[in-house]
Amino acid sequence: MNWSWEHFARFLFSEYMLNGVWTTIWLSCAAMLLGCSLGVIVAFMKMSNIWILRRIAIAFIWLWRGTPLLVQMVIIYTVLPQVGLRLGVIESAIIALTLHEGAYFAEIVRAGILSVGKGQTDASQALGMNWFHRMRYIIIPQATRVIIPPLGNQFNLMIKTTSLASVISMEELFRRTQQLAQIEFRVLEAYFCAACWYLLMTTVWGEIQKRLEAHYDRPFGPVEDDGKARRRRRELAGDAPAQA
Amino acid sequence: MPRHRPEGGREVTNLRDTAVRQARELGEPIVECRNVDKYFGSNHVLKDVSLTVHQGEVVVICGRSGSGKSTLLRCIDNLETIDGGRIDACGHLMGYRKGTGGKLVPLGDGRASKQRRDMGMVFQSFNLFPHLTVLTNITISPTRVTGVSLKEAEAHARELLDRVGLPEKEDAFPSQLSGGQQQRVAIARALAMRPKVMLFDEPTSALDPEMISEVLDVMIDLSRQGMTMIVITHEMGFARAAADRVLLMHDGQIVEEASPEIFFTAPKSEHTKLFLSKILTH
Ligand SMILES: Nc1ncnc2c1ncn2[C@@H]1O[C@H](COP(=O)(O)OP(=O)(O)O)[C@@H](O)[C@H]1O
Ligand SMILES: [Mg+2]
């Protein structure tokens, strides 16, 4: 084995790699944002009273959780053009990751919402709240606590999963590592360098996640000073009258 | 389930004078159930139930567990849809509207929720919103649903907290309160919508014995102020003190309907006799 610290250090902070890191970060964020939005929509479709929406949601989740992301990505990038739908690398990667994340997040959101007891729905209905009021003021604030931890795990996975986009030549961290390894004949240093970057990203996210969870996981009824409680109350029951 | 408490464990005298009661009996009908049927799957839970409650009247419903008491109350508030008959409450045909040719069309969520604003409901398990402070529990619906200003809603909420004997608790969260306190907040929360009728589904069944009277006192107080109330309870003290009429439900039907005096001393139905013997012998 001939390990070269010199190459390792050079790779680690080379502009080429840093660009790859940056691509991985924004690709993860974009896919996560879009995927979670899609997941929320699919979750509500699956809980809908409308039969057809429910069927669509179930089929979507079944399909996207039942096939490997790698296959989905290749299909979107190389098979769709053959039926006349040509998408660029970036679009393909984002679409594949979004659909994949959406399917998983839908079940997380659904579980979170179902975790809020039926008594809460009864009470809010009895107070004259319609579906929107119930969701906005009662159910979602309580479901968020349940959703935050798995949401954090999904983002951790997403950071690593974006490396699959390298197969459709998305220039993210992993693909740049492969290329660097080939050009410079420094396989060991290049891949260790990639590992370090992934580790750094997931560690930073882990810290953020810890704080988020601590924030949302306090038992209801924190011992807040009066000012804080009052401010929170004002936020929750703002002065602006809602549309009845 | 009958309450396992000796009758007369708490002395409550009937404080409502007859003059007031007679005036009440003349009130307009405010809740009218006509031939209501309700099924859960193949389980026929309400069988052709008819019940009229007049403005200002206090009706107590008792009966064995599973006899359909909660279901009837939930149907009145349209928390359950009915399969036959009709329910008129506070001027609404609950859950339906007249379509073309007088055909009844089920209401969507938006309109159904508007109908419920005229009725308040108190549940056995309190169902306070755990993520909101006591004050916000009370103000959230007036401010967000009916568009009352926060200032006005908070003033009203404080008044109500005062009335239920919890003026100090506005910044507490439900988890920091005892069961009896939570139930009193739940009553205040329902009253905040200025309901015309209050529905209580076993409001004291989940409480420790020493907390029952603090909730019943609030309810008796409410009845004295002329609130129309339908109360499912096995608290015979409350029935004696506040009820104009006591009903017994058995197997999805109302089998006895009488004034408290007659209900407890000279019931007609065998079911009532059996029911009373069960709660009185404990
Ligand atoms: N949501 C429901 N789904 C199915 N069956 C129900 C539901 N709610 C009540 N029931 C059934 O309806 C019957 C009456 O229940 P309920 O009205 O709760 O009785 P009570 O309040 O008198 O104890 C019972 O047999 C119960 O099992
Ligand atoms: Mg019940």
Interface of A with B (CB under 8 A): 117, 119-120, 122-131, 133, 137-138, 141-142, 219-222, 226, 229-230, 232-234, 236-239, 241-244
* Phi (first) and psi of residue B197, to 5 degrees: -135, 140
Tokens 């619906």 sit at which residue?
A: B141
Q: Note the pLDDT of residue B27.
A: 79
B117 alpha carbon to ligand 2 midpoint, in Å?
22
Instruction: Note the pLDDT tens digit of each residue in A50-85.
Output: 999 999 999 999 999 999 999 999 999 998 888 888
DSSP β-bridge partners for residue B33: B51, B87
Query: What is the band of A236 on the pLDDT scale with cuts at 50, 70, 90?
Result: low
Q: Which ligand is nearest to the CA of B68?
A: 1
CB contact under 8 A, A220 and B145: no
Cβ contact A142–B130 (<8 Å): yes
Atom of ligand 1 nearest to the CA of B41: 4
ipTM of the complex: 0.87
The β-bridge partners of B249 are B63, B254
Q: What residues of A are in contact with residue B114 (Cβ under 8 Å)?
A: 128, 130, 244
Residues of A in Cβ contact (< 8 Å) with B149: 239, 241
pLDDT of residue B17: 44
Kindly report the average pLDDT of chain A as a whole number.
Answer: 89
Let me know: does A120 contact B129? Beta carbons within 8 Å: yes
CA distance B142 to B139: 5
The pLDDT confidence band at residue A214, using thresholds 50, 70 and 90, is confident
Inform me whether the pLDDT recorded for A125 exceeds 80.
yes
Per residue of chain B (282 residues), what is the pLDDT tens digit?
A: 443 433 433 444 444 444 444 444 557 899 999 999 999 999 999 999 999 999 999 999 999 999 999 999 999 999 999 999 999 999 999 999 888 888 888 999 999 999 999 999 999 999 999 999 999 999 999 999 999 999 999 999 999 999 999 999 999 999 999 999 999 999 999 999 999 999 999 999 999 999 999 999 999 999 999 999 999 999 999 999 999 999 999 999 999 999 999 999 999 999 999 999 887 765
Residue A170's SS3 state is coil
Q: What is the pLDDT of residue A238?
A: 52
Question: What is the pTM for the complete model shown?
Answer: 0.84
Q: Are B128 and B174 in contact (CB under 8 A)?
A: yes
Around ion ligand 2, which residues have CB less than 5 A away? B 70
Query: Measured in angstroms, how far is the CA atom of residue B18 from the centroid of ligand 1?
Result: 36
In ligand 1, the atom with minimum distance to the C-alpha of B67 is 22
Cα torsion through A107, A113, A117, A119, rounded to 10: -140
Q: What is the 3-state secondary structure (H, E, C) of chain B?
A: CCCCCCCCCCCCCCCCCHHHHHHHHCCCEEEEEEEEEEEECCEEEEEEEEEEEECCCEEEEEECCCCCHHHHHHHHCCCCCCCEEEEEECCEECCEEECHHHCEEECCHHHHHHHHCCEEEECCCCCCCCCCCHHHHHHHHHHHCCCCCHHHHHHHHHHHHHHCCCCCCCCCCHHHCCHHHHHHHHHHHHHCCCCCEEEEECCCCCCCHHHHHHHHHHHHHHHHCCCEEEEECCCHHHHHHHCCEEEEEECCEEEEEECHHHHHHCCCCHHHHHHHHHHHCC
Distance A25 CA to ligand 1 centre (A): 53
pLDDT 10s digits, B20-78 = 444 445 578 999 999 999 999 999 999 999 999 999 999 999 999 999 999 999 999 99
Interface contact flag, A221 B175, Cβ < 8 Å: yes
Instruction: Please report which ligand is nearest the Cα atom of B64.
Output: 1
State residue A184's pLDDT score.
Answer: 87
In the prediction, which pLDDT does A84 show?
86
Q: What integer is the mean pLDDT of A203-207? A: 97
pLDDT in the model for residue A217:
75
